[in-house]
Amino acid sequence: MPSSEPFKWRHFQSDLILLNVRWYLRYSLSYRDLEEMMLERGIKVDHTTIYRWVQAYSPELDKRCRPYLKPTNDSWRVDETYVKVKGKWKYLYRAVDSAGNTLDFMLSAKRDAKAAKRFLRKVLNASHTIEPRVITVDKNAAYPPAIEALKTGEALPETTETRQSKYLNNTVEQDHRFIKRRVKPGLGFGSFNTARRTIKGYEAMNMIRKGQIKDAEKGDVMGQISFINQIFGVAA
């Protein structure tokens, strides 16, 4: 997808495409819901076409919004939730800071120390995160060895504290709800790649909704819409 012309060769106007993508990622709507909503407005677009738009532009939304993310703090809350892919449960690793701001996320087929280490390294490499003073996790035994391995490899400072506390991890567990509500209308995903691409859009929209974007504060719906249009080069 050319970064300067993301809607080239599409048969619908760019603002209509982005509207459907934004609504799907923000609200608990199915593709068929959006098909009917467009038909009410006199626009005939098949739900499979909307699905293809979401698959194409969800990863783009994630990529394009990241340079505008505000810095997060040094108190990490890390947890994983479950996502159904082809009838089987997969693991969505997620991390927020103590203020509830998203640090990063990663869909994984496995829930072990190797996956936890890969996820924590991804969080460390994110442009809007800083080295953690403390990492709060639940009782999952995979996290302590993953953290120690990163310290041994000097990816994490030795001074980083590890806390295993379900109570303190309520912040990230509450934050799972936005993603779970988005997944429910679709009754799971048909493939791992479909899940991975769609979740990128869910998470990007969640960060925008929470006010993590510079000059698009929480509750400023019109400002958030304007930001999304701007990064895709769509006129308001």
Domains of the chain: 14-68+191-231 (no CATH), 75-178 (3.30.420.10)
Residue closest to 208 by CA, chosen among 226, 194, 193, 182: 226
Rg (CA), the chain: 18
Measured CA to CA, the distance from residue 188 to residue 146 in angstroms comes to: 29
Residue 171 confidence (pLDDT): 81
Tally of residues, the chain: 236
The Cα–Cα gap between 82 and 208 comes to: 23
Task: Give the integer Cα–Cα distance in Å for 70 and 13.
Answer: 31
The whole-number pLDDT of residue 139 equals: 84
Torsion sign (Cα): 64, 69, 114, 112:
negative
β-sheet with 75-85: strand ranges across: 102-108, 88-97, 75-85, 134-137, 161-164
In Å, how far are 29, 111, 124, 199 from 192, measured between CA atoms?
21, 15, 24, 10
Report strand pairing: 161-164 vs 102-108.
unpaired
Q: What's the angle, vertex CA 141, arms to CA 105 and CA 139, rounded to 5?
A: 80
* pLDDT tens-place values along the chain, 236 residues long: 556 678 877 788 999 999 999 999 999 999 999 999 999 999 999 999 999 999 999 999 999 999 999 999 999 999 999 999 998 999 999 999 999 999 999 999 999 999 999 999 999 999 999 999 999 998 889 999 999 999 999 999 999 999 987 777 788 888 888 888 888 766 679 999 999 999 999 999 999 999 999 989 999 999 999 999 999 998 76
Element (H, E) at 136: strand 134-137
pTM: 0.92
Which pLDDT score, from 0 to 100, does residue 186 have?
Answer: 60
